[in-house]
Structures are given as structure tokens and as C-alpha cells.
Amino acid sequence: MSYTFDPNGMYRMPTHFGPRTGPRRGPNGETFDNVGAPRKKTIAVSFLTNADQLAPMLPEGFSLNGEPVVTVAATYITEIPWLAGRGYNILGVSFPAKFEGREDRASGSILLVLWENLTDPILTGRDELGFSKIYADLPEPRVYEGATHVTASWMGFKFLDMSVEDLEAVPGPDQAASTPDRTDGELRGTLHYKYIPKTGEWGTADVQYAVLSPAGNSNEVPKEAWRGEGTLQFHRARWEDMPTQYNIVNALADLEIKEFRGARISTAVGGKDLGDQRILR
């Protein structure tokens, strides 16, 4: 006798073993409040580039919103409740954008790519949320003589070097986590574009739409923050170096760095399960 799908369950492949656990569903069907955990440390560097280099990366309905400032942020996450206390690391590239659809208007940063070093959050984030997640090796940052060094690689090919130094403490907590999710009818948050190809019809989409991670509604509590100076370099790759990612890395490496716009290191505790993720229409 074949199985049927529970309309109250959360599934992802393989579906043959029943509903799956993950960030938005615990072993007994419960959710995680993310209060007091996980713990996060973020290292970010921003730079000014050319608007005409960013425009071709935007899907239909999206446009640049303000200066063409790209931010590269590495976050090291520990004590994650849905992983029973384990952790993983992420590296994201974003810039300010806005979306205007038939029904919705939204603004924030569009997340072009998010590398992660663990399969489970990649699958749940792509399938359920529409994040543009892919895999990379993301070792812990190295701190030496007052500078913090971040690297990223794929199967032995290092595609990013990033450094932050000359840090000074920022007085008071960073209030980014309390940003409202709506202002004057415009939604606020992190913008994404979800795309899944149709099996056997490779130029056709099975799923294709804009998605928003709303700002606010989070139990994240900022702890400490520092400002400093930062530099970064994406290293161009051959197809042989990164067969499935070389065009991503090369597009980022080709962005002109007109000037660096500062760097930051911050720590925080808590968060949300992103169960409020929504499609933009």
C-alpha cells in the first residue's frame, strides 16, 4: 500500500520516510523559539562598485535602491537548536535593492548567493525558503596581530580572502534586528529569487518568483559590535577549479572596487526560524 501525504506535515525529498525535521519543525512537530540561541559572530566588508555591473544580476521586478554598495558577510553560528546544539558557517553577498510587483512593494538587500558549509541548511533554505544557497568550505576566521582574516574555498580552490582591522567598539547595541517589517505600505527585509527547473524541460521553470525574509519578528539580541577597515578579493576561477560555481565567483571578482566602505564585526544571540517567509507578487 502506497503512502499518502499528511497535510499538516512538512516534507522534502526523500518523502518516503514521512515528514522531515528541520529549522521549522522539531521531532515532535514543535517549532523552535530561538531565544538565547543560536550564537552568531558576523564579519562583514562593504565596497562601492558600478551600478551597471549590478543591474544584470537583478531579476525582473527588481532594481537597485540607492548606491551600488556590495556587502560580503561571513557568519559563524553555534548552538543551533534545530541541529541539537551543532553549528555551521555562512558567507553571503548582497546589495540594496527594491521590488515592485503586481501587488507588493518591498525593499532591503537582495541576497545574491549564500554559501554554507553544511548540507542540511542548504536543502531546507533552498527548498522551503527560496534562498540562493550553495556549498563552500568556510573555516573559522584567523586572528593575528589585530587583524581578522576570512577565507572561503571549494574543494581546495580558495575563491575569497577578506580581512578586517583597526577595530573600534561601537557604543550601544546594534538595533538592526528590531527594524520594522513594513513602512508606508512597503515591505522591508531580505530579498531573494526562488527558481526550480522543470524536470525534463530544462529551460522551463517549475517554480519562479521573488521571496522576502521580513525584517523584525526576531528574538535576536545584539551583543557587541566593532567598526573597522576592511579589504577583500574574490579570486577568478577556471571551469576546472570550480566546475559548477566558477561563473558566480568570476562575476563577483569582476566587480570594480571603487572604494571600500568600512567593515564591521558583531555578535548576537537568538533569532527566528524564518517561518514568516513570504512570496512577493
Question: The CATH number of the domain where 47 resides is what?
Answer: 2.40.400.10
Confidence at residue 185, expressed as pLDDT on a 0 to 100 scale: 85
Pair 47, 263: CB distance under 8 Å? no
CA angle 103, 112, 140 (to 5 degrees): 135
Alpha-carbon distance of 247 to 108, in angstroms, equals 25
Note down the domain range covering 248.
19-170+181-280
Confidence at residue 264, expressed as pLDDT on a 0 to 100 scale: 98
Whether 224 maps to a domain, the answer reads: yes
Whether 139 maps to a domain, the answer reads: yes
Confidence at residue 177, expressed as pLDDT on a 0 to 100 scale: 45
List the pLDDT tens digit at each of the 281 positions of the chain: 899 999 999 999 999 999 999 999 999 999 999 999 999 999 999 999 999 999 999 999 999 999 999 999 999 999 999 999 999 999 999 999 999 999 999 999 999 999 999 999 999 999 999 999 999 999 999 999 999 999 999 999 999 999 999 999 998 765 444 566 776 789 999 999 999 999 999 999 999 999 999 999 999 999 999 999 999 999 999 999 999 999 999 999 999 999 999 999 999 999 999 999 999 99
Confidence at residue 171, expressed as pLDDT on a 0 to 100 scale: 87
Total structural domains in the chain?
1
Beta strand residue intervals within 117-185, DSSP E = 133-135, 142-144, 147-154, 157-169, 182-183
Whether 3 maps to a domain, the answer reads: no
Cis peptide before 14 (omega within 30 of 0): yes
Q: How many CB atoms lie within 10 A of CB 164?
A: 27
Strands 133-135 and 105-116, by their bridges, are parallel
Confidence at residue 173, expressed as pLDDT on a 0 to 100 scale: 60
Whether 185 maps to a domain, the answer reads: yes
74 Ramachandran zone, left/alpha/beta (phi>0; psi -120 to 50): beta
Give the burial class of 80: count Cβ atoms within 10 A of its Cβ; 0-12 exposed, 13-18 middle, 19 or more buried: buried
Residue 149, classed as helix, strand or coil, is strand
Whether 2 maps to a domain, the answer reads: no
Residue 15, classed as helix, strand or coil, is helix
Whether 32 maps to a domain, the answer reads: yes
Pair 75, 127: CB distance under 8 Å? no
Q: Which three cell numbers stand for residue 159?
A: 575563491
Whether 7 maps to a domain, the answer reads: no
Beta strand residue intervals within the chain, DSSP E = 39-48, 62-64, 69-78, 88-100, 105-116, 133-135, 142-144, 147-154, 157-169, 182-183, 186-198, 201-214, 221-234, 259-269, 278-280
Sign of CA dihedral 176, 182, 185, 186: positive
Whether 1 maps to a domain, the answer reads: no
